[in-house]
Structure 1
Amino acid sequence: MATLPPAQPTAILRGHRAQVHSAVFMRLERTAEGATMTADTRLATGDSDGYVVLWDLAIVRARAVWRAHQNSILGMAAWDDDQQLVTHGRDHRLVVWQVGVADEARSSTVLPLDDESASAASKTPGSSATRPQPWMVHVLEVNTMNFCAFAWSGLVGSVAAVTAVTGSDSTSTDVATTGPAPRQRLVAVPNTLTLEAADIYHLPSQRRINTIKLGTKEGMIMAMALFYAPSDENTLILIAAFENGVVVLATLAQGADGPAIILYRAQPHSQPILSLDVSPDRTYFLTSAADAVIAKHPIRLPKVAQKEKAPATEAPKASHPPPPPSNNKPVSLLSAALAKEASTSSSSRVPPASKAAPPPPVEVETQPLATINTKHAGQQGLRIRDDGRLFATAGWDARVRVYAAQTMKEVAVLKWHQTGCFAVAFAPVVRPESTADGNDKKAIEGAPSNAVATTPGAASSSGTSLVSRANNRREVSVKERRLRHAVTAHWLAVGSKDGKISLWDIF
């Protein structure tokens, strides 16, 4: 049986002179069905020198380059609705940048690699000192003594800690005088003093509203996730992965500033956990570590015991006063009246309600849903694609492995880099309606390990108008073909220690 040739990346992005630690696709179009790629979609990458590069996927060139931090970048995230990029650096700062299309016009496009060569040739300081930066929306001073990147979530409702300081509900504003209320968000980072504790900050107030201790001797927090439960939008869930391989899931039932209740605690790993990611439907999450194990963990909230209404008890029928004792002693009129009153009051008295029993203690789950031994130690940067069908890991052995999320079987191994890989990012999937029902699921799980498939068909109606026009008429220019491919491709971006980013079009 003939074997397929090794898969090759669609493009290689060269520009970082340091190892790439983080990557994320941003500036997406939000619809009722979720996020879709648009013609101005960007890939943001951050390196260990603190530089951020925004890549245009249509022309495979940099649109904006700036130095976001004075030290290594731990993590990045995109707040797409507001065209904002969040960077978390080891210089103890978390910064929210405004990076819209208009902001790119005044940004530098000189890559760090080119800047270094120019500086070495001229023997003068590089242009990075005068490189313009995007607008800083928020700057938060946080702890970055360890290697844990931040976690974030939008805020549902209001926070009592912020309300107490401001004296009013932080979500309510006078539209006539101050305009629409700024978007509120929650940011979780490791605590500065206690290794096993996490701090939750509120933006835009930049106040620490809660400190949650999730362990005793687990070591440093290595990865975190923060989101609301799918079944209860008022229940905030915090997941923390520790240095000793322990994973803890806790809920904050009374809001972001309420007490934490641990629902899940397991130790499927024997080495420090390097990354975790939550499924799109928020029913499970995955972890990878320095060992060869990948674990799938449940996200289950305890069922609230609904109080069954007891049937209304019928009032006991009034009974006649008992006849006086049949003895020969005479009974006075006063004794007979008192006996009648006592009988009437006892017959109409309702039995006292029993005291409500305290809620039973929550049983902590300790078993993951599944674990696999990949026999390849050191897999990090784990990410799940937005359709929930695939997840990928970046390996220290310079290979990127793609797995089927349901079966956790390895379906592809991508090899191009010669040094270890650190970051993985999936672009939102734009699928035609014919494959949206999941009929091609078996094709993914049964694909050979070296197969890479391009996106079939055209983009959905939620894409850009350029794609819809291209479907109705013949494409007449190379530019339109590039834009269409940039929107419809199932991109997988891989950042490596060599400072290069490989772009793969898979499944």
Structure 2
Amino acid sequence: MAHPAPSPIYCLRGAGGPLNTLHFCCRGTDAPLLFSGSAKGTIHMWNLNTRRPEETFEAHGGSSILWVRTLWSADSLISQGRDMQVCLWDLRGGSGQAVDSVFTGSFGFCQCSLIETDQTKSLLAFATEQSDEIKIIEIPSKTTVCSLVPETKLGMVMCLKLWQPDSGPGPLLLAGYEDGSLLLWNVTQRSELSQVKAHPEPVMCLTFDPQRLRGISGSAETKLSSWILDSQNNIQLQESVELVNPGVSQLCIRADGKLLASAGWDHRVRIFGWKKLRPLAVLQYHTDMVLSVAFSDPLDPRQRLLAAGSKDQRISLWSIYNEGAATG
């Protein structure tokens, strides 16, 4: 590596449980915020200037929080819990009360995926009580857009990524399944576009770069599988990235398309150059599995942060490769 691995710039404590999900909100607010969801059913809204929680929500009846995301210029928060509910929170009042909810019926750990279609509407994709089914609804109306079930048996839905291409008929959705398959769906036509076997074990996580039409996925094995979408929307497997230790909880690409972060079962966060998947750094701080990683996207690129949440109940924050470092 070109540089020694850095230390975290600071650590957030007091989440009260393993950190399953993290989400930055650095625009449209007075101070940069980090939202976290714990396995004890608590959502924290951390003020990154004071490094303290600005709000704490006891959510989902104490069930584990799987996923959080702000929407509509940070006026609202959406959360998903193991209580089979997706809840919508109004952040303007600070009351900590959910204003609406959707029953998913899902008993798994598959995180939702969301895209904002305009200033007031979004599309939300989630797994349902039928383990191989994905449902997509419009919110806040909760109107059903479609349900997607594979033609062949692929097992349980494990992970999702919904996005809107720059051109084409409408949203596309990537899904990872229990048998190790990746499947690309055309949401508008409710049709399967492409399928590939990316892993010998369940796909634990995936992320996708819509600008480069390139993605990467992880499982319980000692490798990451990278792939691209060709001009016909076929998933084409590319090179694999070998890992020292097995198991990846989450993958995240920085907004500038230069870095990839992986959350490892071996307590480590690994940083790769996204262009060539070159290993750049191994971040060692946590004493248990790293469950979540997230990059911030502030207006000033020099203030970008990486957050990592662990089973050890701590959130580490890192400032890495922010000023033109080579990251091939």
**TM-score scaled by structure 2?**
0.90
Kindly indicate whether the alpha-carbon contact (under 8 Å) linking 1:290 and 1:378 is maintained by their aligned counterparts in 2.
yes
Q: Percent of counterpart pairs with the same letter? A: 26
RMSD: 2.1
| Corresponding residue for residue 150 of structure 1 | 112
| Corresponding residue for residue 477 of structure 1 | none
Q: Which one of 308, 311, 318 corresponds to residue 504 of structure 1?
A: 318
In the alignment, the residues of structure 2 paired with residue 76 and residue 192 of structure 1 have an alpha-carbon distance, to the nearest angstrom, of 20
Distance 1:6 1:299, change over 3 A: closer
Cα displacement string for residues 403-425 of structure 1 (whole angstroms, at most 9, x for unaligned residues): 11010111010001111110001
Q: Which one of 41, 45, 54 corresponds to residue 45 of structure 2?
A: 54
- Is 2:148 the partner of 1:212? yes
- Is 2:175 the partner of 1:237? no
| Corresponding residue for residue 266 of structure 1 | 196
- Is 2:4 the partner of 1:8? no
Greater share of residues in strand: 2
SS of the residue corresponding to residue 283 of structure 2 reads strand
| Corresponding residue for residue 42 of structure 1 | 33
Cα displacement string for residues 227-286 of structure 1 (whole angstroms, at most 9, x for unaligned residues): 111222x3210111011111011213xx3xx331x2221112112111111215151222
Structure 1 unaligned residues grouped into runs of 5+: 30-37, 105-131, 157-181, 303-363, 431-458, 461-487
Cα displacement string for residues 160-180 of structure 1 (whole angstroms, at most 9, x for unaligned residues): xxxxxxxxxxxxxxxxxxxxx
Q: Which amino acid in 1 is paired with 2:16?
A: R
Greater share of residues in helix: 1
SS of the residue corresponding to residue 236 of structure 2 reads coil
Q: Which amino acid in 2 is paired with 1:285?
A: G
Q: Which amino acid in 2 is paired with 1:424?
A: V
Kindly indicate whether the alpha-carbon contact (under 8 Å) linking 1:222 and 1:274 is maintained by their aligned counterparts in 2.
yes
SS of the residue corresponding to residue 129 of structure 2 reads coil
In the alignment, the residues of structure 2 paired with residue 218 and residue 506 of structure 1 have an alpha-carbon distance, to the nearest angstrom, of 38
Distance 1:80 1:57, change over 3 A: farther
In the alignment, the residues of structure 2 paired with residue 371 and residue 404 of structure 1 have an alpha-carbon distance, to the nearest angstrom, of 14
Structure 2 unaligned residues grouped into runs of 5+: 322-328
Kindly indicate whether the alpha-carbon contact (under 8 Å) linking 1:280 and 1:387 is maintained by their aligned counterparts in 2.
no
Kindly indicate whether the alpha-carbon contact (under 8 Å) linking 2:105 and 2:128 is maintained by their aligned counterparts in 1.
yes
Distance 1:68 1:214, change over 3 A: same
Consecutive aligned runs of 4 or more in structure 1 exceeding 4 Å deviation: 3-6
Distance 1:68 1:10, change over 3 A: same
For the pair shown, the structure with the greater C-alpha radius of gyration is 1
SS of the residue corresponding to residue 369 of structure 1 reads strand
**TM-score scaled by structure 1?**
0.60
- Kindly tell me the number of residue pairs found equivalent between the two proteins: 319
Kindly indicate whether the alpha-carbon contact (under 8 Å) linking 2:222 and 2:247 is maintained by their aligned counterparts in 1.
yes
Cα displacement string for residues 462-493 of structure 1 (whole angstroms, at most 9, x for unaligned residues): xxxxxxxxxxxxxxxxxxxxxxxxxx422110
Cα displacement string for residues 101-137 of structure 1 (whole angstroms, at most 9, x for unaligned residues): xx34xxxxxxxxxxxxxxxxxxxxxxxxxxx514x34
SS of the residue corresponding to residue 387 of structure 1 reads coil
